[in-house]
Chains A and B, each alone.
Chain A
Amino acid sequence: MYKIAIIGDRESVLCYKAIGLDVYVETSFQKASKLLNELAVKNYAVIFIIEDLYGKMKTAVDKYMYSPLPAIISVPGKKGSDGSGMAAIKQAVERAIGADIVN
């Protein structure tokens, strides 16, 4: 059985605590990257990261991009979506096919 974690700023992640996720409050991307590396070897299958933090710690996230677990997913925080999640999908399509042909 695996656990789920969420990393992000206080206001964005506090709410997730109520529904039983493991909440880690972190705003500096260096610390968050370190935290991510720690969580990745622990028993976490899914790690959600608030979008603006996710954007800053791309190098740490990319390390786990192609391993089956954990799945590291960006979710919009209190500032709302900045479209980076969609951009990541677009990037994957371009990588696989050469051009973004899906609308």
Chain B
Amino acid sequence: MAMIKVNPTRMELTKLKKRNKTARRGHKLLKDKRDEMVKQFLDLVRKNRLLRAEIEDLLAGINASFSIAGAAMSVQALEQALCYPKQEVFVDAVTKNIMSVNVPVFTPKLSGEKNDIYPYGLAFTSGELDRAVGGLASVMPKLLELAQTEKAVMLLAEEIEKTRRRVNALEHVMIPEQEETIKYIVAKLDEDERSNTSRLMKVKEMVLERPSEKA
């Protein structure tokens, strides 16, 4: 096992023990953070999946209607009908904090009349176009929700990966390394003490022998 290169002294030992305690505490906290983030992440992913499936279904219908409208009307007429929209969509973006990850929250802000979104007269356009535009207008809030959850999923995924790496680095590298070093220092200090004791015993023996020589 790898070890940190230190002088085997008492001071180093105290320092290392302190660091080991901090590392353990950090490891526990990060692990808790990771677990909670994964929980939130999975909830979001499930929501994202459902939302995306729903939106893809709805958009398929809208695109079909629009294609039919495109077939029934000339390209110029279609563009003319759509080129001056009656409403404008804005979004308000505030950030929400999920486990210290800042994710955006979008709220749509529509300008213009709510009930009359069709920017064209009904006389020269196909009915399918109304269906497509109306459908799209009702899907819009969902699309924004999708954007919001998908962004949150991406941001959380990155943060989870980072945290996971940190947890692993602490668990499998830093903490074992420190413990190994602590063990080494303790052994070394014990060894020094033993050698010191035996040296003292030897000296004492020699001192005790001396007066008998003189006598």
Contacts and interface: CB of A to CB of B under 8 A. Distances in A.
Contacts, number: 147
Contacts of A77: 63
Given A65-B154, A75-B143, A93-B157, A20 B52 contact: no
B93 A69 contact: yes
Nearest to A86: B52
B137 interface: yes
Interface of A: 1-4, 11-12, 14-21, 45-46, 48, 65-66, 68-69, 71, 73, 75-78, 80-81, 85-86, 88-89, 92-93, 95-97, 101-102
Interface of B: 38, 41-42, 45-46, 48-49, 52-53, 55-56, 59-60, 62-63, 66-67, 70, 78-79, 82-83, 85-93, 95, 102-104, 106, 109-112, 117-119, 132-133, 136-137, 140, 143-144, 146-148, 150-151, 153-158, 160-161, 164
B147 to A, nearest CB: 4
A2 B46 CA distance: 27
A76 B91 contact: no
A102 B42 CA distance: 7
Contacts of A80: 60, 63
A47 B175 CA distance: 45
Given A14-B78, A46-B144, A75-B59, A20 B87 contact: yes
B60 A45 contact: no
A15 B136 contact: yes
A96 B38 CA distance: 8
